[in-house]
């Protein structure tokens, strides 16, 4: 059964289309990722599904309720962790959770039981009486995740849950997210621009670019679409002649020249490296660096968009549009 069902969802701002006719389903208990750079439309999508923004057109059902007609019912059925911290630093961790559960009208005894439960889940029981101002960044994110779970939502939205955290803390948050998904059975939809985060956590991933889905599948199948190993060659010299020669080789499945780096996809890449270097030398090309690896979601993104996600992040037009929106669309 679907926890989320989206059909032709569109959101425009002053003539600019932030989300452009996306359709997808998320099954109950699934961990579904929206992967893409800042400005791709991820946060706008989350905000519509969480009833914080009204769609321009299209429909969506979350936890059995229509996001346009049954907004209150949707809100009672979901939890959400925003990109920006929304905790009161002057209150303790427990007091922040108390305030949140009181807003949902949960009785005192049940409130205490649920708060103890979620504090245990995110391993913050020993910090419950500490003011949040004293928490580290990772502890604050864990507390925000706990807060999103206190009213036992059917669907939890995590908007860039590890943004700004160091690598080690980010990995710990991944473990908590996976734990609550698998053990508590919560359906989760998260946004991220970290490729490794989507790969590690998500059952399925939708790659977003300029408000649309360019690919949607499991991380493994998305990488399999590239078909084989990826060899990256950093080149210098007569590159066009080298590319012409490579075009005659039937064992090269895909090639993509990006600035001075050529990415080639093929089977058994480790056996082909000497041949590629020799061929480059024959064509007057110097190979400064060789890298062999399995395809990544970054390669998938490059394949479908022609650019890396980091370049999309740095695009001036994307930044200007985000500033124009004023609310940090992602």
Question: 154 lies in a domain?
Answer: yes
If asked whether residues 21 and 165 sit together in one domain, one would say yes
pTM attached to this predicted model: 0.80
The answer to whether the beta carbons of residues 205 and 56 sit under 8 Å apart is no
- Continuous segment of H or E residues that includes residue 11: strand 2-13
Same domain for 205 and 232, yes or no, is no
* H helix runs in the chain, sequence order: 42-49, 71-77, 93-103, 108-121, 137-149, 167-183, 195-201, 219-224, 239-246, 269-282, 297-305, 309-314, 316-325
pLDDT at 321: 45
Residue 133 lies in a domain: yes
pLDDT at 328: 41
Positions of the chain with pLDDT under 70? 312-330
Cα separation, 323 vs 330, in Å, equals: 11
Q: Are residues 189 and 261 in the same domain?
A: no
What size, in residues, is the chain?
330
- Orientation of helix 167-183 relative to helix 108-121, angle to 10°: 130
Domain assignment present for residue 313? The answer is: no
| Contact between residue 177 and residue 119 where contact means Cβ atoms under 8 Å apart | no
Clarify whether residues 176 and 237 are in a common domain.
no
**CATH classification of the domain holding 31:** 3.40.50.300
Same domain, 68 and 212: yes
Residues 242 and 208 in one domain: no
* Domains in the chain, number: 2
In a domain, 308, yes or no: no
pLDDT of residue 124: 93
Let me know if residue 304 belongs to a domain. no
Q: Are residues 106 and 236 in the same domain?
A: no
Q: Are residues 69 and 157 in the same domain?
A: yes
Residue 311 lies inside a defined structural domain of this protein: no
How many whole angstroms separate alpha carbon 50 and alpha carbon 60? 10
Same domain for 136 and 52: yes
Q: Are residues 147 and 208 in the same domain?
A: yes
- The last residue of a domain, from among 191, 221, 251: 221
Q: Using the 3D structure, point to which of 184, 200, 221 is the last residue of a domain.
A: 221
Query: CATH number for the domain including 248?
Result: 3.30.70.260
Domain boundary among 192, 221, 250: 221
Do residues 189 and 123 both lie within one domain? yes
In a domain, 262, yes or no: yes
What pLDDT does residue 274 have?
94
Residues 128 and 79 in one domain: yes
Decide if 328 is inside a domain: no
Instruction: Show the domain range for 262.
Output: 227-294
pLDDT digits (tens, 9 = 90+) for 22-57: 999 999 999 999 999 888 999 999 999 999 999 999
Tokens of 165: 């955290």
């Amino acid at each position: 059964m679907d926890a989320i069902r989206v059909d032709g969802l569109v959101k425009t701002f002053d003539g600019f289309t932030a989300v452009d006719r996306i359709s997808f389903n998320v099954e109950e208990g699934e961990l579904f990722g929206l992967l893409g750079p800042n400005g791709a439309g991820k946060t706008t999508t989350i905000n519509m599904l969480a009833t914080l923004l009204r769609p321009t057109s299209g429909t969506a059902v979350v936890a059995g309720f229509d996001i346009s007609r049954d907004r209150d019912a949707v809100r009672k059925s979901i939890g959400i962790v925003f990109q920006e911290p929304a905790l009161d630093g002057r209150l303790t961790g427990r007091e922040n959770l108390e305030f949140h559960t009181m807003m949902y009208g949960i009785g005192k005894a049940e409130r205490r039981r649920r708060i103890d439960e979620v504090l245990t889940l995110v391993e913050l029981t020993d910090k419950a009486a500490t003011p949040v101002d004293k928490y580290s960044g990772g502890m604050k994110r864990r507390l925000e995740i706990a807060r999103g779970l206190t009213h036992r939502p059917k669907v939890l939205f995590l908007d860039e849950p590890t943004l700004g955290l160091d690598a080690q803390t980010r990995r710990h948050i991944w473990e908590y997210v996976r734990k609550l998904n698998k053990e508590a059975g919560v359906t989760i939809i998260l946004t991220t621009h970290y490729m490794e985060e989507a790969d590690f956590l998500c059952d399925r991933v939708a790659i977003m670019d300029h408000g649309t889905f360019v690919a949607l599948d499991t991380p493994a199948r998305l990488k399999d679409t590239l078909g084989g190993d990826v060899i990256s060659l950093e080149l210098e010299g007569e590159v066009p002649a080298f590319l012409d020669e490579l075009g005659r080789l039937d064992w090269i499945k895909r090639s993509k020249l990006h600035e001075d780096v050529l990415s080639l996809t093929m089977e058994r890449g480790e056996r082909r490296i000497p041949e590629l270097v020799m061929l480059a030398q024959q064509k007057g090309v110097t190979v400064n660096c060789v890298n062999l690896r399995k395809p990544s979601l970054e390669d998938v993104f490059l394949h479908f968009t022609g650019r890396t996600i980091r370049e999309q992040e740095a695009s001036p037009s994307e930044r200007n549009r985000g500033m124009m929106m004023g609310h940090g669309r992602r």
